[in-house]
Structure 1
Amino acid sequence: MRKLFIIAIILFPPVVYANVVWPALYLEIRLFSWWAIGLGLLVEFFYVKWLFALSVKRSAIADLSANAASSIAGILLIPLAGIAWEFFPASIYQQAFDWGTFNPVTWVATFILGCFINAVIEGAVYKKWFAPHFRYKSREFLWLLVANAISVGAAYISFLIVPLKA
């Protein structure tokens, strides 16, 4: 694992990112703000308690575990999903409309990708350790998407409160 990390640093040094920015990078920063984390934990705690019928203590542990896993994996996956979006399909419609990276379609796609990535990772944690009956093709997963949409939505609302600075 350490070798893989060193190879990644060599291949993708932070200096490379200095002139390349896309919405997923901004979202990533806002998702790690204390209030977005707090809101996400609170909303998902009630979701876990209600949907999986766990005790308060077990719901809190499940919520913290799932969110820790999605945060750690999301550090890499959300920006990667954003850059993948930029290569395809964004490159097609951006050229057609003569738009740059920061356009409404990309912002909506980034929101959806952020919610989906978090929900998939959290769902895996719930299924493995807390709710073995959990299925991705179920109403439980849709509710998990809704819960994640609230926390990702909070990160988006922060762009209105504290706008990006150029």
Structure 2
Amino acid sequence: MISLNMVWPAIYVYDEIWRFWFLVFVTIIIETFTIMAMLKYSLKKAIIASVVGNLISGLVGTFVMMWAMLFWHLVADNFVPHATFDIINWVATYILMCLGSVFLEVLTIKLIFNDTIKKLFIPLLIGNLLTYGFIAYSMISNSREDDKEKRVEQIFYSPTPNNFILLDSTKLQIFTAKTEISYDENDNMVHTNYPLEVLFKKEKPENFQFELRLLGEEYSGGIESERKIIELDNLSDTIHVILEQKNPDPNKGWTAPIITDTIKFIKRTNK
């Protein structure tokens, strides 16, 4: 069963796309010249088409397709050997997210310049294929780096505060968070980012009433029923995490969430 308390491959792909947000400039340049060559647009018209299309694809398309992939998992997870994170689902995620984003991009350009979908699809697909191809390569490379691990150092962070009464009057307790630094045989760090694992216990584990996200980040990346993974670009002695809750107003809910607390995760010192 798919629920909002789980994670699925599209969340990781979405996060990776935003981690390499600057690729949009490369995509715009490539698409501009592709559109000029294949559609015979002027330079100005091609730039407008590429910029507008990539804004729609990046800001709307990837987000919509991330959630749309839940419908794929609702069916596919019943048939693939390793359920949600089976290799078939990973491949399907890249393909469907790419095609879905391109389709939204095509519809937008069609409305502006009144061209046919058939004519627009291939030129706009090329830039997106390069982006998703790079993201796939990046994630595969990170996976291979795991094989190089020879030593792992664990770092623990204590949350302050760690007990909360949520807006729905239920209790939440947050436990010590943990991240790891991996080293290869030459004692060099293997990874350049650090997944902070935050464990918690809530009174109603079946409900999706709060989210945790790094201070300064707009997107949280999904949460499980008893665990949250926060990707860190660097480590510090204190990590600030926002507790964001579902609005108790039934007419607003998650459309207007409320930030209620800032949690300080303080690094434990070894004694």
Q: Which residue of 2 aligns with 1:91?
A: 77
Richer in strand (by share): 2
Cα deviation digits, residues 88-129 of structure 1 (max 9, x gap): 1x22213xx2x1321211011111111111111111122111
> Does the 8 Å contact 2:57/2:105 carry over to 1?
yes
Looking at secondary structure, tell me which structure has more helix per residue. Answer: 1
Aligned-residue CA RMSD (Å):
2.4
Instruction: State how 1:7-46 maps to structure 2 within 5 Å.
Output: 20-32=6-18, 33-46=20-33
User: 2:66: which partner in 1?
Assistant: 79
Match of 1:128 in 2: 111
Q: Report the identity percentage.
A: 26
Stretches of structure 1 lacking an aligned partner (at least 5 in a row): 1-15
Which structure's CA Rg is the greater one?
2
Contact 2:62 2:97 in 1 (8 A): no
Quote the residue 2:140 is aligned against: 160
Paired residues in the alignment total: 143
Cα shift readout 1:127-158 (whole Å, capped 9, x = no counterpart) = 1113x2322xx364244334322211111111
Deviations 1:61-89 (A, max 9, x none): 2101011012222243121122111111x
1:150 corresponds to 2:133: no
Tell me the TM-score normalised to structure 2 length.
0.47
Greater relative contact order (Cα 8 A, min sep 6): structure 1 or 2?
A: 1
Please give the alpha-carbon distance, in whole angstroms, between the structure 2 residues aligned to 1:39 and 1:148. Answer: 10
Q: How does 1:34-73 map to 2 (within 5 A)?
A: 34-73=21-60
CA distance 1:139–1:55, shift in 2 (3 Å)? closer
Q: CA deviation at 1:35?
A: 4.2
Indicate if the aligned counterparts of 1:36 and 1:154 stay in contact, CA closer than 8 A: no
Which structure 2 segments of 5+ residues have no match? 147-193, 196-271
Note if contact 1:67-1:122 (Cα within 8 Å) is conserved in structure 2.
Answer: yes
